Amino acid sequence: MLPIILSILLVIALAYSVIMMLQKRKKTGVKGIKPLLSSICLYLVSITNLLAYWLDFLGVLSWSITIVLLILGAYFTKYLHNNEV
């Protein structure tokens, strides 16, 4: 029962996070796909791990996908806009 509740909470938090990120991008006027790539990679990490858990796909392949997405997410942070206040 606990894994089901935690999975539902993860999906709700993920949806809320995506909505808030898109609103913040619209408010600050950020355009283009490059600043979005880091967030996309990090969201895909959580989706990959959630699917791997529910489909009993925990193994070398899911870990490899996670590592690659984390590295790509770190690499694409260079495209994030620097808002100096």
How confident is the prediction along the chain (85 residues), in pLDDT tens digits per residue? Answer: 998 999 999 999 999 999 999 999 899 888 889 989 999 999 999 999 999 999 988 889 999 999 999 999 999 999 887 765 5
Would 33 be classed as within a structural domain? yes
Q: Could you tell me if residue 6 is inside a domain?
A: yes
In a domain? residue 85: no
Query: What pLDDT was estimated at residue 84?
Result: 53
Q: What is the per-residue pLDDT for 29?
A: 85
Q: Check residue 83 and give its pLDDT.
A: 64
**Domain-located, residue 84:** no
Residue 45 lies in a domain: yes
The model's pTM is 0.85
Distance CA 40, CA 72 (A): 10
Give the chain's domain count: 1
